[in-house]
Structure 1
């Protein structure tokens, strides 16, 4: 039977449309890729981006340009990437941009969760509950007995250290007075100086001071103990099962980026993270390589958004 020319054309068009997403993914990228880092050089997300940059350039056969755009808890970088329409601009930053910030910042001019989607979780990191040795807090059991007049430090209002501590206080029924600082470094310095008793501070900052004896490590915020401080228990292991304040360094993309392209990026990033030199360097920073699939990252983001919403409601904190 002879097939008419219009039918042949329709069949060809249908085949072309079916193959288009795959072809687009194979062609991507067609120009240099921008990784916009939401925090300054030397912070974990920035370090990860620079470690995997050579491998991504080789895989994509295009330059990968890393730009740092800091401010507003990562929201400035997030806004730039959310509004990008070139298909070649991605965001590097903590998962808190999608899980905590939407609860705290109500006047952003864009909806992070509608405008951005997680591509993968590079690595997980924890906060470490540390105290000045003179505060005489040798354990979590002693910590929860502290009176409300005692002080705790954080790296700033709404940061992971603040939110993790508020989750801990709610879990244990403890009441302490919050002293926010402009970053985890200054917070750690004042705990060491005895101006503040304790703090939940990102482990990569306080590890050297714990190892030197200037700070006492009480507990780890996440589900896993630190590979660099294996003797320090998690909060869950210290009598509060189910407690989990794990955070993630994340790669995000505009929601408009096609799913097939997002999946290609995730595969290439995951492969880059498996390089022994990369894993060794991240382990030295107390970062655990993850390389989540896009589906896993999106599921975890939804779960943590709900979890941190409960904490944000308890603190009644608004940052704009």
Structure 2
């Protein structure tokens, strides 16, 4: 199979996957117990006014008509209007998505830098006490739920020592001209450190363990012995030759990990009160705000699916040995 045929097939699979995710989300929220109109209509409204509000959201129509309209709107990224605020869902998403991206990308970059460096060292010093300690720490970080670590950090450094804020991404009462003006302030950095550190601690174990395994495989190859025979220093062999050849699995895994990092923002944003897309998604589910919940779920799912697709393409591009049979 040629690369072009592989890309076309994967794009078709993406379309089917998006349709499946959207269908599951549509019926999942409508099967949940409770009345979705509870936050839309008021008990003080007349029956005529209540019916008019329900009709304006299309909630009076048969389920299959709502489903078809949902699919049609999803193709144009139109997820309707929020039941709670009456805002277009697109505006809600673009309001909170940048906050999530800043948090996730900060944690992701720190996690991968530390994970790669520590993975190189643990693979190089195999069997040492350093390797055992680092691997145990990485496995512990991957095993502990992020919300549990976040609560401990808040209890110890927030409520106990008072060195980190308890919630939010800025001090109350402060205003800024733009989003970019906000994120380049010490106050924003002060609020960012704790949630980003908790997430980086969790995600660091993934690149660390992959890099360690890749390093051990590379160090067993003949060209490492050739480098030593040429008289190269151990430092040069470790970083310039072994580490460079061991990076391929990390590069391709990074795209997948980044997608899950964005999708995994729900718990940490809720614990730290970070006004991101994950927390807004939780609030929308609690309010039974179908349009916002569906829109945020679709954005997070699309991020994971697209980055998986990019990882597939990167792997074949970076490693010529990969075939598409």
Question: What TM-score bracket applies, with the shorter chain setting the length?
Answer: under 0.3
Larger Rg: 2
TM-score, normalization by structure 1:
0.27
Pick the structure with more strand per residue.
1
TM-score with structure 2 length normalisation? 0.26
